[in-house]
C-alpha cells in the first residue's frame, strides 16, 4: 500500500493513513486503498475491532485534496463524492466496531470519515470542522446526513453553515466524541476500548450494531420489532449458548 499502513495485533486491526506531508489529506488513490483495507480487515476472522488513525500528531485527516478538487468538473465531482460515500458506508456498515483515533485535524472529509466510525476517541489537540461552505461546496461524504444524527440538527446546522472549527473538549461536550485523552495516550485508550469490546460475543456485537443502524429513522415500534427478532435469532447460535453456559458455570466465555 502506498499511502497506508496496516497492523494486526491481539485481534485489533489498525489502519494508519500515511501522508504526513499533506496532513493525511484524502486523494482518490487513498480512498481506494482504504476501501480495500477495510474490506480485507472486515473479512479477516482474526480481527475483532478496527482502529483508523493518521500518521503524526498534527492531523487525523485534513480533508480532501483541494488542489485535485480544483480541477474537477461536475462529473468528476460526482465520482469523487460517490467514492468517498462508498468508503464511509463500508465503515458504517462494518460488522466489526470501527474506532476513530482522531489525532489533530479532522476537517471536511476527515470529519466525515470519523462520523462513519462507531466510536470516536480524540487527542486533546484534535480539531473538528466541516468547512466546505467556505470553499463554495458542501460536505459530500455524509456530513449533512450523519452529523445531525450524532449531535442534533441545531448544532449540525451551525457547524456546517459557519464552517467553524471546534476543539476536542467542545466535541466531547456535544457528543461528537466518546473520550478525550493526551496525544501520547490516544492509541492506548483506543486499544483499551477495543480490548473491552473483544471480551464479548462477535456475532452479538455485529447484530447490535446492525440493530442500531437499521432502526435509525424508524418509529419506536418498528425498531423494537427489528431488535426482538435479532435477539431471538441469536438463541440458535453457538455463541449465545456458550455465553449463557459460561455465566451459569461461573467461568469466562470462549467466544474467539
Do the Cβ atoms of 27 and 3 come closer than 8 Å? yes
Query: What whole-number distance in Å separates Cα of residue 55 and Cα of residue 68?
Result: 21
Residue 28's Cβ-side half-sphere holds a number of Cα atoms within 13 Å equal to 11
Q: Which of 33, 132, 191, 239 is catalytic?
A: 132
What is the C-alpha to C-alpha distance for residues 194 and 65, in angstroms, rounded to an integer?
Answer: 31
CB atoms within 10 A of CB 20: 12
Q: Is 132 a catalytic residue?
A: yes
- Grouping H, G, I as helix, E, B as strand and the rest as coil, residue 93 is coil
Q: What's phi and psi for 58, nearest 5 deg?
A: -90, -35
Q: Active-site residue among 33, 40, 75, 112?
A: 112
Check if the beta carbon of residue 246 is closer than 8 Å to that of residue 254: yes
Q: Rounded to the nearest 5 degrees, what angle is found at the Cα of 25, between the Cα atoms of 22 and 30? A: 115
> Whose CA is closest to 100, among 80, 128, 76, 72?
128
Q: What is the dihedral of CA 29, 14, 98, 101, to 10 degrees?
A: -90
3-state secondary structure of 108: coil
d(CA 177, CA 100): 9
Q: How many CA atoms lie within 13 A of 165 on its CB side?
A: 12
Closest CA to 19 of 123, 142, 110: 110
Q: Looking at the annotation, which residues are catalytic?
A: 112, 132
Amino acid at each position: 500500500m502506498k499511502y497506508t499502513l496496516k497492523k494486526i495485533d491481539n485481534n485489533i486491526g489498525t489502519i494508519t493513513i500515511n501522508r504526513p506531508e499533506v496532513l493525511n489529506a484524502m486523494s482518490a488513490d487513498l480512498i481506494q486503498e482504504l476501501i480495500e483495507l477495510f474490506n480485507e480487515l472486515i473479512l479477516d476472522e482474526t480481527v475483532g475491532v478496527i482502529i483508523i488513525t493518521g500518521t503524526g500528531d498534527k492531523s487525523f485527516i485534513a480533508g480532501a485534496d483541494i488542489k485535485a478538487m480544483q480541477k474537477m468538473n461536475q462529473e468528476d465531482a460526482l465520482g469523487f463524492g460517490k467514492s468517498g460515500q462508498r468508503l464511509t458506508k463500508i465503515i458504517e456498515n462494518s460488522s466489526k466496531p470501527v474506532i476513530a483515533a482522531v489525532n489533530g485535524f479532522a476537517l471536511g472529509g476527515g470529519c466525515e470519515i470519523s462520523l462513519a466510525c462507531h466510536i470516536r476517541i480524540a487527542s486533546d489537540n484534535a480539531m473538528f470542522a466541516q468547512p466546505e461552505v467556505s470553499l463554495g461546496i458542501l460536505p459530500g461524504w455524509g456530513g449533512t446526513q450523519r452529523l445531525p444524527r450524532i449531535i442534533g440538527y441545531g448544532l449540525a446546522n451551525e457547524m456546517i453553515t459557519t464552517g467553524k472549527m471546534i476543539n476536542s473538549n467542545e466535541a466531547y461536550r456535544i457528543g461528537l466524541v466518546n473520550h478525550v485523552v493526551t496525544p501520547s495516550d490516544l492509541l492506548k485508550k483506543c486499544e483499551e476500548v477495543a480490548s473491552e469490546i473483544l471480551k464479548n460475543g462477535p456475532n452479538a456485537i455485529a447484530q447490535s450494531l446492525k440493530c442500531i443502524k437499521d432502526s435509525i429513522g424508524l418509529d419506536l415500534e418498528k425498531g423494537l420489532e427489528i431488535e426482538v427478532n435479532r435477539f431471538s435469532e441469536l438463541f440458535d447460535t453457538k455463541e449465545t449458548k456458550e455465553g449463557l453456559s459460561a455465566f451459569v458455570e461461573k467461568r469466562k466465555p470462549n467466544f474467539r
